[in-house]
Amino acid sequence: MTVTSALKVENLHKSFGNHEVIKGVSLEAQKGDVIAILGASGAGKSTFLRCINLLETPNSGDVYLAGEKMRMKQNRHGETIPEDIRQVERMRTRLAMVFQGFNLWSHMTVMENILEGPLYVQKIAKAEAVEKAEALLEKVGLSDRVDYYPAHLSGGQQQRVAIARALAMDPDVMLFDEPTSALDPELVGEVLAVMRDLAEEGRTMLVVTHEMGFARDVSSKTVFLHKGEICEEGSPAKLFTKPATDQFKAFLARIN
Amino acid sequence: MELILEYQSQLLAGTLMTIKLALVSLIISVLLGLLGAWAKLSGNRVAQKTADVYTTVVRGIPDLVLIMLVFYGGQVTINAIGEMSGLWGYLEISQFIAGVGTIGVIFGAYFTETFRGAIMAIPRGQIEAGISCGMPRLLIFSHIIWPQMVRYALPGFTNNWLVQLKTTALVSVIGLQDLVYNAFTAGRSTGQLFTFMAAALFIYLILTAISDIALRALDRHYSRGVVRA
């Protein structure tokens, strides 16, 4: 019996102008996998993540979500574009993203931020959506901040709201783009704790991060990107105790 | 004072004409401004260039020159085209259409810049957050861009609008009976120009005061979530 992977990326390439940032990266995540993506800045980690939900359009390569391929085509200038934007939008609702800069909508309260997707994209009944949003806020420990605006929250609180907002869509896969990099050191822990809970619940997650502790302890698989290519990948136990490549050794030495 | 009461119906008619001119031309300029801002930010080279030419040319020509050019030159041009193509006979552009159209086009250029700046002030990440939730373009515009754009645009908008309201006075040169035209006519025929100009000034002040109150209310409405220093 073949199991369809939750997310499969095949031979992804992305260039900005003449500069090739991603040089043929493939990655597969089974349901419940937590994949930590490491790499020095400029290695292409964020770009890779952003290509998965088409915030950046890859030059070539395929993305499959639960077996469904994101269909792309070439326009008359030879650029790759989505074949059907509706399909892309539908797939994006199943691929929630959490950003480094939180990106909460500043004119909406915490509750409105969380309700936006379920109400207006997924068109779920309001009572049901509100009930779910309240449960999610409780999960991220912010039940007492329902009517606050983002500007009145700390970075850690904003990021936890952003995680609740992503969870509200009930996504199949969650993409985390350096979720703790913009936080003051004392606020990192509260966000990582929420992410640990999600991992334990069996959420499928791709996490671009500089938190080695999180990668080592929580991820089911760790991937090290170097200059747009996967340089090393495998279980964190293996990678962190016996790094195989000089690049990864050097990276670990620099981090520690 | 008695004189003014005697001429109140003319002043009132002029005031109404001024309000009508200002509001109709405002609608035209807001629509042109949105279109222009979209063109400048669209990434489409042709649209960008067209919008650049529009804002550069229009903002570089005195309003009065443009109004006369459209009213006198526009009519001649349209009729010449009609005659050559045989598609329509003699057309007359009404003073109202010429005035409203020209003022609308002039201020559309200013609104283009106001709206462009306002859209650029919205953090790009908030738009990406919308995209990554699977929001269609129209929803991103109506729920994320529009409410924040209005807030960022309001100070510039207020400026433009107040100048636009006063610029409507220029249409009296093409014979449109607005507040200035009527006040001037009444002043001349009674020999009390000062009295009537003072009345006109007072009416303009009332109009701008009302605008100010309305725009403040709008500002409060669209400032949700903003931390005030």
CB contact under 8 A, A92 and B222: no
**Per-residue pLDDT band at A2 (split at 50, 70, 90):** low
Q: Which residue type occupies B68?
A: M
> What burial class does residue B87 get, using C-beta atoms within 10 Å of its C-beta: 0-12 exposed, 13-18 middle, 19+ buried?
exposed
Token digits of residue B211: 């605008």
Q: Which of B131, B134, B225 is closest, CB to CB, to A151?
A: B225
The residue-averaged pLDDT of B178-206 equals: 92
What is the pLDDT at residue B83?
Answer: 83
* Phi-psi label, residue A57: left if phi above 0, alpha if psi -120 to 50, beta otherwise: beta
Between residues A77 and A25, which one has the greater pLDDT?
A25
- A142-180 b/e (C-beta count within 10 Å ≥ 16 → b): beebeebbbeebebbbbbbbbbbbbbbbebbbbbbbbbb
Task: Give the position of tokens 């999600």.
Answer: A198
CB contact under 8 A, A121 and B134: yes
User: Average pLDDT of A214-235?
Assistant: 94
Encode pLDDT of B72-121 as tens digits.
888 888 888 888 887 777 777 788 888 899 999 999 999 999 999 999 99
pLDDT of residue A216: 94
Q: Identify all chain A residues contacting B133, using CB atoms and an 8 Å cutoff.
A: 92-93, 96, 116-117, 121, 165, 169
- Are A198 and A205 contacting, i.e. CB atoms less than 8 angstroms apart? yes
Nearest by CB to residue B136, choosing from A89, A96, A103, is A89
CA–CA distance, A123 with A169 (Å, rounded to integer): 11
The pTM score is: 0.85
Taking only the tens place, the pLDDT of each residue in A85-125 is: 999 999 999 999 999 999 999 999 999 999 999 999 999 99
Determine contact: A198 vs chain B, CB below 8 A: no
Q: Scanning the structure block, which residue is given the tokens 């990440």?
A: B125
Instruction: Summarize pLDDT for A166-219 with one digit per residue, the tens.
Output: 999 999 999 999 999 999 999 999 999 999 999 999 999 999 999 999 999 999
User: A131-140, B12-21, B58-67: which range is least confident on average?
Assistant: B58-67
Q: How confident is the model at residue B149 (pLDDT cuts 50, 70, 90)?
A: very high
Segment B111-133 mean pLDDT = 95
Mean pLDDT taken over chain B: 90
Of A97, A108, A120, the CB nearest to B139: A120
Q: Do residue A55 and residue B131 have CB atoms under 8 angstroms apart?
A: yes
Q: Which of A97, A101, A107 sits opposite B132 (nearest CB)?
A: A97
Instruction: Give the pLDDT confidence of A53-69 residue by residue, as tens digits.
Output: 999 999 999 999 999 99
* Domains present along chain B, CATH in parentheses: 2-222 (1.10.3720.10)
pLDDT of residue A1: 47
CB contact under 8 A, A99 and B129: yes
Residue type, B207: L
Task: Look over chain A and give the mean of its residue pLDDT values, rounded to a whole number.
Answer: 94
Three-state DSSP state, B1: coil
Length of chain A: 256
Q: What percent of chain B has pLDDT over 70?
A: 99
Average pLDDT over residues B171-196: 90
Model pLDDT, residue B53? 95
Best B124, B128, B131, B133 residue to mutate vs chain A (most A CBs within 10 Å)? B133
Looking only at the bridges linking them, the beta strands covering A60-65 and A68-69 are antiparallel
Q: How far is A89 from chain B (nearest CA, A)?
A: 4
Q: What is the pLDDT of residue A16?
A: 93
The pair of structure tokens assigned to A254 is 């620099």
Helix H or strand E encompassing B82: helix B75-85
Q: Identify whether the C-beta of residue A5 lies closer than 8 Å to the C-beta of residue A30.
A: yes
HEC letters along chain A? CCCCCCEEEEEEEEEECCEEEEEEEEEEECCCCEEEEECCCCCCHHHHHHHHCCCCCCCEEEEEECCEECCEEECCCCCEEECCHHHHHHHHHCEEEECCCCCCCCCCCHHHHHHHHHHHHCCCCHHHHHHHHHHHHHHCCCHHHCCCCHHHCCHHHHHHHHHHHHHCCCCCEEEEECCCCCCCHHHHHHHHHHHHHHHHHCCEEEEECCCHHHHHHHCCEEEEEECCEEEEEECHHHHHHCCCCHHHHHHHHHHC
